[in-house]
Amino acid sequence: MKITSAEFISSYADVRKCPLPDKPEFAFIGRSNVGKSSLINMLTQSRDLAKTSAKPGKTQTINHFLINKAWYLVDLPGYGYASVSKSLREGFGKMIEGYVLQRENLSCLFILIDCRLEPQKIDLSFINWVGSKGIPLALIFTKADKLSRNELQRNISQFNKTLLQEWDELPPSLTTSAETKTGRDEVLAFIDDALEVYNQQSE
């Protein structure tokens, strides 16, 4: 897939105000500071489509971007950042749950995992919750350039092993680096395939 246009559409804290669900959506979510905004900018080849920040917890709304005038890329708030107030954390939870459970045009929820870390309880809990709701999902291991190939394979293997304690079959996964653009073609090809399925089902 070639991205020829990427246009900011809306930013809301209430899922009911999001754009009409008339186009397929691909949403990106992860623990705060996982590199989500950098990944989105890398995919769209834009420097500042998604706002990056040195301070985690920057994204606090549901942000829709129209890609190629055909599908939405959705930037969701991060989960599990301890420094945000308790009430705001609960708000993030409600916002995320509302979006994930109510958007019938959600083609895939990409859950981002920092490949440098051992399996995090909050990531595993979120993946298990999404899976239990029957939401289509895929994992994206970010920051691959920070590890050697052996370290990367070891960490992903450890994560998958932990996930298989709850899952019979692993969800699809991709490996990326916003710095080196590793995985860009693979993520866009994955979206391309999902768009074909969506269009066939819509006919």
Check residue 24 and give left, alpha or beta (phi > 0: left; psi -120 to 50: alpha): beta
CA distance 189 to 183: 10
Answer yes or no: is 165 within a domain: yes
Give the domain extent around 150. 6-202
**Does 173 map to a domain?**
yes
Query: Is residue 126 in a domain?
Result: yes
Q: Do the domain assignments include residue 14? A: yes
| Spatial separation of the C-alpha atoms in residues 141 and 39, rounded to whole Å | 11
pTM score, whole prediction? 0.91
pLDDT tens for the chain, 203 residues: list them. Answer: 999 999 999 999 899 999 999 999 999 999 888 999 999 999 999 877 776 544 444 557 899 999 999 999 999 988 865 444 455 444 447 888 899 999 999 999 999 999 999 999 889 989 999 999 999 999 999 999 999 999 999 999 999 999 999 999 999 999 999 999 999 999 999 999 999 988 888 77
In a domain, 1, yes or no: no
Helices of type H across the chain:
36-44, 86-102, 121-132, 149-163, 184-202
Query: How many domains does one find in the chain?
Result: 1
CATH assignment of the domain containing 124: 3.40.50.300
